[in-house]
């Protein structure tokens, strides 16, 4: 005798009052919608959904954003000074800024073009009713009073009033924070930004464009915030510090050159092509110092790295909807992924219908119907079938099992929260109520049906239970008492590229967690097939503790989770974030939306629901989970290289500040002209950093960008600055004004020292990095030995003693920097090990305090 159980769903399904045949149960009633003429009139009067295709900067904004920057303003002021006092060689630094700005504009325009093309592919195309036909249009083509048709997974793109509902349930949590789906009936209001979680419906647009609710929220920046960028905020903080330091250091140099040591530059040789004199020379010294303090290439290279990352990801059919998301990918250490459609193939195949005998005649009711007939009827009446129902329909059609044509009296669309769908049908034997869904939800846990479903699920199969319900499916108590009738077994194949993808994440230290609404045994089976650590112990999410801290610990420990509701997915992602993890969530269905929004980085599939694509920062347009390693690698390349480049530029800033302060206090002439600073900056950091910013990099990135960057830049910069001062004082020999050979000695010391810093930062070494440093040495040598180079940069290597002095001091500085770096690396390793041990001890103590769930 098949088992019976009282299984009540989470809420009412579609309420249908007419028990007779009605087209509204399986589809909307006939409706003409707007005519072409009415649409044209509304377009002509501006009553359109005039919202941008995607949130991005226009061409004008890109140009302004690259030209009118804080750094460019600083450089412009300094160049204006040199333009007055000359010579032209000392204004060469401005040309570098012009070139950098041009490159930044070109790269960002390329990235914009790539994003716009991908956005068109990804853009939602809502269904509207015009002239009695349902057609798809772009979001911008919707007009006021338009009749729109929506189904499961569709996002509501304009505000409206429901005109017809077939079990329509809408999730408004992204707008209102209310977690429970809202059942909509004709006359109810729907808001843009919400999405359909069950059923189908039609609504008439009442507010479009910037009058719509979600657009007004976005403009008020109330809920739709962008991804936080630690990289950009850190760089902005550093630039603010440097800006504040420019004024006192510049004033110190001016005062020192003019007053502290008297007119120390009066005896200097006239500057070729420029104005000579105490004030001119003092200004020239100040410009030379301040130009080197400004990390002029850092902002540029950050923008280029982001833009190139976007372009590279675009080649892999990955749409980046928020630029800082590229950075966020570098920090990801946990990837939560759905199973169906992500690790397994999108389509499923009907493998078997196993009759349990529950359709036999009842003593007090009508005779039962064959499972295949019922399934064919359910598939035929479902107005918006999910992948499982679509596979059943396709399989029955292939077997020659047509729908019986029974009349539908009530419908309950599938809901991720209920885990079942159903219909009340008028069969030849009378009205029957049928439900199809998860066996462990509809049947008792100890029942033979649930046990057999669990056994089959452990083999990686997807198993649904067909059951008779005791009440109409639109009843508040549905499904009531159920009688198991048949198990519907679907075959789902694991993607061929899923295994290598998980192996990549394991090698990179990224934990992967499968979070699915399927039976836990089925999820574990897929995990075991993919050799996912911990998959042999799958967890039923319904058994997870309610306490947030206990839940987060269990989620962190396990790797495979089944029967996860949309709200539970969100809680699991939140718990992982609370424990310090950077979480990427991948999904394609409407049940993933809340978790995608909660994750640090949401990754949606291109063939997924419009709702999931709209809230994700990244969209994989070709639905290939195997693209994700390339996405993570690109994020790590970007932020890892920018961190290297930032260390180089800040080293330059620190040694310039050190040199300027000491020279100012000693009241001697500044050792450089701006042209010397341009040469040093170009060969030591400027040119090499451009290549390093685009180089491969797989380093795992951790928080603390600013402090980690300064740990190298401050000691290296201070050593380089003191080395430059030491060389300067040695070659001056008590004088206060340098000659070209004195300046050349200091240039040699700084270049040799900072090129060594470049070598330290450029690890691991490959042939092109060695060649890059060698070519920079070659450029510096050409500038010093060729007549044109010596004239243009005012260099003199005719005194071997001064050249050797510069090299000797640089050698001592190189040893000091190396020792500091080795000691600092060891301290960081010990500190990290101590932090890991402390965290492990705290976790163990917390587990002992918390009773087992």
Of 179, 181, 180, 192, the closest CA to residue 224 belongs to 192
408, 189 in Cβ contact below 8 A? no
For residue 270 the two structure tokens come to 């006239």
Bridge partners (DSSP) of residue 463 are 489
| Cβ count within 10 A of residue 726 | 20
188 annotated active-site:
no
Q: In whole angstroms, what is the distance from residue 621 CA to residue 607 CA? A: 7
Q: In whole angstroms, what is the distance from residue 267 CA to residue 679 CA? A: 26
Distance separating the N- and C-terminal Cα atoms of the chain: 35
Q: In whole angstroms, what is the distance from residue 304 CA to residue 310 CA? A: 10
For residue 427 the two structure tokens come to 């069969």
Instruction: Annotate 366-411 with DSSP letters as a single string.
Output: PPP--HHHHHHHHHHH-SS--HHHHHHHHHHHHTT-----PEEEEE
| Cβ count within 10 A of residue 788 | 9
Supply angle C-alpha 668, 670, 676, rounded to 5: 155
For residue 122 the two structure tokens come to 């990804």
Give the length of the chain.
853
Question: Going by DSSP bridges, is the β-strand pair 583-587/334-337 parallel, antiparallel, or unpaired?
Answer: parallel
- Residue from 90, 154, 333, 338 carrying the catalytic annotation: 338
- Chain centroid to CA 85: 49
Sequence-distant (6+) residues with CB within 8 A of 499 are: 530, 531
Question: Going by DSSP bridges, is the β-strand pair 420-427/407-415 parallel, antiparallel, or unpaired?
Answer: antiparallel
Question: Going by DSSP bridges, is the β-strand pair 420-427/430-437 parallel, antiparallel, or unpaired?
Answer: antiparallel
Q: In whole angstroms, what is the distance from residue 745 CA to residue 291 CA? A: 20
Q: In whole angstroms, what is the distance from residue 758 CA to residue 695 CA? A: 14
252, 664 in Cβ contact below 8 A? yes
For residue 315 the two structure tokens come to 């080649």
348, 387 in Cβ contact below 8 A? yes
Of 66, 67, 76, 88, the closest CA to residue 291 belongs to 76
Residue with tokens 């077939």: 166
* Helix and strand element counts for the chain (H, E): 29, 22
Residues labelled as active-site residues: 338
């Amino acid at each position: 005798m098949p088992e019976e159980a009282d299984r009540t769903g989470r809420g009412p399904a579609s309420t249908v009052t007419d028990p007779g045949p009605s087209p509204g149960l399986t589809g909307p009633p006939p409706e003409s919608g707007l005519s072409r003429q009415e649409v044209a009139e509304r377009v002509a009067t501006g009553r359109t959904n005039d919202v941008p295709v995607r949130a991005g900067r226009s061409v004008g904004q890109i140009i302004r954003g690259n030209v009118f920057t804080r750094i460019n303003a600083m450089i412009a002021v300094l160049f204006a000074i040199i333009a007055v006092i000359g010579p032209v060689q000392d204004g060469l630094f401005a040309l570098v800024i012009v070139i950098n700005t041009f490159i930044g504009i070109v790269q960002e325009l390329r990235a914009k073009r790539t994003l716009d093309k991908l956005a068109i592919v990804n853009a939602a195309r809502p269904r509207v009713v015009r002239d009695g036909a349902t057609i798809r249009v772009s979001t911008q083509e919707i007009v006021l009073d338009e009749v729109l048709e929506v189904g499961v997974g569709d996002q509501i793109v304009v505000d409206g009033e429901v005109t017809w509902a077939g079990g329509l349930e809408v999730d408004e949590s992204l707008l209102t924070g209310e977690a429970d789906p809202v059942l909509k009936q004709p006359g109810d209001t729907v808001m843009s930004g919400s999405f359909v979680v069950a059923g189908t419906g039609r609504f008439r647009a009442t507010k479009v464009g910037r009058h719509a609710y979600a657009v007004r929220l976005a403009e008020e920046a109330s809920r739709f915030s962008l991804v936080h960028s630690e990289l950009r905020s850190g760089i902005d903080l550093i630039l603010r510090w440097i800006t504040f330091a420019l004024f006192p250091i510049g004033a110190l140099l001016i005062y020192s050159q003019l007053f502290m040591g008297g007119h120390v530059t009066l005896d200097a040789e006239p500057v070729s092509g420029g104005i000579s004199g105490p004030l001119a020379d003092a200004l020239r010294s100040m410009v030379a110092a301040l130009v080197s303090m400004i990390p002029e290439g850092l902002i540029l290279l950050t923008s280029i790295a982001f833009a190139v990352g976007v372009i590279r990801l675009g080649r892999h059919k990955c749409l980046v909807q928020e630029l800082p998301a590229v950075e966020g990918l570098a920090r990801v250490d946990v990837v939560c992924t759905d199973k169906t459609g992500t690790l397994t193939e999108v389509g499923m195949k009907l493998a078997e219908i196993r009759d349990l005998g529950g359709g036999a005649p009842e003593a007090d009711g009508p005779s039962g119907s064959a499972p295949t007939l019922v399934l064919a009827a359910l598939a035929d009446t479902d107005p918006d079938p999910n992948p499982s129902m679509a596979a059943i329909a396709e399989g029955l059609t292939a077997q020659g099992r047509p729908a019986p044509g029974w009349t539908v009296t009530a419908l309950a669309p599938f809901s991720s929260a209920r885990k079942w769908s159903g219909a009340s049908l008028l069969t030849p034997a009378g009205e029957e109520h049928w439900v199809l869904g998860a066996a462990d939800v509809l049947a008792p846990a100890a029942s033979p049906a649930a046990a057999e479903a669990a056994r089959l699920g452990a083999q990686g199969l997807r198993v649904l239970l067909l059951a008779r319900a005791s009440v109409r499916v639109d009843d508040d108590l549905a499904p009531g008492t159920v009688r198991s009738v048949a198990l519907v077994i679907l075959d789902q194949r694991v993607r061929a590229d899923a295994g290598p993808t998980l192996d990549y994440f394991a090698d990179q230290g990224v934990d992967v967690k499968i979070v699915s609404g399927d039976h836990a045994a089925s999820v574990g089976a897929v995990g075991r097939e993919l050799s996912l650590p911990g998959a042999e112990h799958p967890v039923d999410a319904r058994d997870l503790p309610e306490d947030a801290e206990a839940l987060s610990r269990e989620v962190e420990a396990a790797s495979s989770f089944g029967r996860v509701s949309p709200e539970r997915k969100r809680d699991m992602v939140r718990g992982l974030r609370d424990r310090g993890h950077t979480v990427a969530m991948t999904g394609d269905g409407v049940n993933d939306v809340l978790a995608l929004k909660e994750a640090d980085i949401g990754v949606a599939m291109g063939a997924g629901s419009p709702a999931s694509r709209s809230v994700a920062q990244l969209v994989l347009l070709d639905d290939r989970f195997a693209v994700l390693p390339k996405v993570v690698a690109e994020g790590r390349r970007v932020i890892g290289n920018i961190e290297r480049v930032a260390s180089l530029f800040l080293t330059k800033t620190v040694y310039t500040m050190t040199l300027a302060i000491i020279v100012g206090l000693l009241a001697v002439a500044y050792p450089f002209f701006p042209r010397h600073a341009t040469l040093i900056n170009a060969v030591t950091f400027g040119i090499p950093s451009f290549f390093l910013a685009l180089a491969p990099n797989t380093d795992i990135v951790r928080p603390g960008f600013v402090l980690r960057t300064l740990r190298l830049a401050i000691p290296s910069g201070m050593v380089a600055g003191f080395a430059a001062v030491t060389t300067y004082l040695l070659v001056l020999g008590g004088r206060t004004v340098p000659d070209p050979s004195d300046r050349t000695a200091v240039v040699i010391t700084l270049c040799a020292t900072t090129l060594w810093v470049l070598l330290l930062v450029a690890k691991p070494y490959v042939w092109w990095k060695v060649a890059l440093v060698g070519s920079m040495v070659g450029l510096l040598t050409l500038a010093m030995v060729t007549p044109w180079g010596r004239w243009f940069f005012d260099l003199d290597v005719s005194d071997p003693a001064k050249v050797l002095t510069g090299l000797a001091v640089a050698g001592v500085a190189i040893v000091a920097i190396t020792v500091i770096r080795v000691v600092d690396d060891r301290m960081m390793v010990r500190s990290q090990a101590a932090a890991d041990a402390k965290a492990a001890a705290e976790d163990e103590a917390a587990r002992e305090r918390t009773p087992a769930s």
